[in-house]
Amino acid sequence: MPPIRRSRPGGLSRRQFLNASLGAASGAALSSCGWTLANVQTTVRTDPGVLYIYTWAGYTDDELIDNFYKETGVRVIADVFSSNEEMLAKLQAGAGGAYSVIYPSDYMLQKMVGLGLVQELDRARLIGLDLLFDKFASPIYDPDNIHSLPLSWGTTGLVYNTTVLEPAPEDWDYLWNNRSDLTRRMTLLSDTREVMGASLKSLGYSYNTTNPDEIEQAYEKLLDLKPSIAAFDTDSWRSQILTGDLKVAMCYSADANEIAKQDANIAYTLPSSGSSIWTDTLAIPNTAPNPDAAYAWLNYMLQPEVAARICQRLSFATPNQAAFELLPPDVQENVSLFPPESALDKSENLTPIPTDVEELYDRLWTKLTSV
């Protein structure tokens, strides 16, 4: 029986949601192999030959899933989520027993560890941990990778069309200093922490500040910029940047790199005052129904050849040094994917924040986006 998939290969952003219902997609995928939806809910999730993963859209494709099946005989069903918060809510609602591998981002992994939702990894069952770059061998969000494996990483910055934007933006302040020329021709992400973080960085503060005064200042600065913003949007900027209808958009580096493949006039800037450095990980829920297949998937993703192919096909920077060494020179030298360490000095990983501070961020974000 061939492998099963529900994610769409290619053309999807790191944060784009696949708008298909669980029931319809699962039924369509499984019926061709003789399974019914009832089988999915009651039987297949404990089948050692089937691995359910919960991932970002665009993080799997046919080649990845087909080759894993050929190597292991395990079929993969990939459900997708649109945000870390959506994933957390689903697991807290009882879906932890449905998936054997999940893909939390760095700060969400920390939160899930605190909530007791993910298990410690058995390092004796993992092959290839020694192949990671040093900074990913014991990352700040998960020292010694006790609960996770790093899968991909990148930055948040500004993508722009060089045919309609001159000079090139170098920092976040460019948006405020040139707002009259950018009116209704720039977009910011639909992401509270990222947008507030950019404003905080422009003020000289941390992306992860918990100081209410600093957070209020960042909000007020964004309020000044609001009339010039076309939208708070994570995905639809792509076609508008290509046509020049938008001059600049806040985005993730992986998305910028993907769209730049279509037009040499598209460029990406990592703001000089600093930004966020994100890492997406692989983790195993405490209630994973198929841990053996989960470890097979983790080991598969650690293979340098597999990680290198993912980097080239899906535009994600790899944390695997052995995989990096297999990449062609033009990919290794792509500073959108692999910025020099000096460019990352002022950037930060997002970290969890106290509930009361999180509520402040959310309250100000609601005010900002509803004005």
Q: Which tens digit of pLDDT belongs to each residue from 166-176? A: 889 999 999 99
Query: Is 29 a residue whose pLDDT tops 70?
Result: no
Are both 144 and 183 inside the same structural domain? Answer: no
Across the range 181-196, mean pLDDT stands at 94
Are both 239 and 254 inside the same structural domain? Answer: yes
Are both 139 and 163 inside the same structural domain? Answer: no
Is the CA virtual torsion 27, 29, 32, 36 positive or negative?
negative
Are both 269 and 288 inside the same structural domain? Answer: no
Please calculate the CA angle 169-175-179 and round it to the nearest 5 degrees.
125
Cβ atoms 296, 74 nearer than 8 A: yes
Are both 167 and 269 inside the same structural domain? Answer: yes
Residue 2 lies in a domain: no
Instruction: Name which of 178, 176, 165 is nearest 268 in CA terms.
Output: 165
For residues 91 and 98, give the distance between their C-alpha atoms in angstroms, rounded to a whole number.
Answer: 9
Q: Under DSSP, is residue 20 helix (H, G, I), strand (E, B) or coil?
A: coil
Instruction: Name which of 91, 93, 94 is nearest 104 in CA terms.
Output: 91
Residue 329 lies in a domain: no
Are both 33 and 77 inside the same structural domain? Answer: yes
- Number of Cα atoms under 13 Å in the Cβ half of residue 184: 0
* CATH code, domain carrying 61: 3.40.190.10
Residue 98 lies in a domain: yes
Residue 115 lies in a domain: yes
Confidence category of residue 95, pLDDT binned at 50, 70, 90: confident
Confidence category of residue 9, pLDDT binned at 50, 70, 90: very low
Higher-pLDDT residue of 19, 45? 45
Residue 106 lies in a domain: yes
Are both 124 and 193 inside the same structural domain? Answer: no
For residues 306 and 157, give the distance between their C-alpha atoms in angstroms, rounded to a whole number.
Answer: 27
Instruction: Name which of 276, 15, 279, 277 is nearest 142 in CA terms.
Output: 279
Residue 133 lies in a domain: yes
Instruction: Provide the edge-to-edge strand list for the sheet that holds 75-81.
Output: 75-81, 50-56, 101-102
Query: Is 156 a residue whose pLDDT tops 80?
Result: yes
Rounded to two decimals, the pTM is: 0.83
* 12, 209, 249 from 267: Cα distances, Å: 19, 30, 11
How many domains is the chain partitioned into structurally? 2
Are both 252 and 298 inside the same structural domain? Answer: no
Cβ atoms 203, 217 nearer than 8 A: yes
pLDDT at 233: 86
Across the range 100-108, mean pLDDT stands at 96
**Which residue's structure tokens are 């492998």?**
3
Confidence category of residue 68, pLDDT binned at 50, 70, 90: very high
For residues 41 and 341, give the distance between their C-alpha atoms in angstroms, rounded to a whole number.
Answer: 46
Are both 68 and 204 inside the same structural domain? Answer: no
Residue 156, strand partner residues: 252
Query: Is 21 a residue whose pLDDT tops 80?
Result: no
Query: Is 35 a residue whose pLDDT tops 50?
Result: no
Residue 327 lies in a domain: no
For residues 57 and 8, give the distance between their C-alpha atoms in angstroms, rounded to a whole number.
Answer: 7
Residue 311 lies in a domain: no
Q: Which domain holds residue 298?
A: 22-148+283-302
Which tens digits make up the pLDDT trace of 287-336? 999 999 999 999 999 999 999 999 998 888 999 999 999 999 999 999 99
pLDDT at 17: 31
Query: Is 50 a residue whose pLDDT tops 50?
Result: yes
Query: Is 38 a residue whose pLDDT tops 80?
Result: no
Query: Is 18 a residue whose pLDDT tops 70?
Result: no
Are both 346 and 238 inside the same structural domain? Answer: yes
Are both 53 and 117 inside the same structural domain? Answer: yes
State the DSSP string of 173-240. Answer: HHHHHTHHHHTTSEEE-S-HHHHHHHHHHHTT--TT---HHHHHHHHHHHHHHGGG--EE-SSTHHHH
Are both 87 and 199 inside the same structural domain? Answer: no
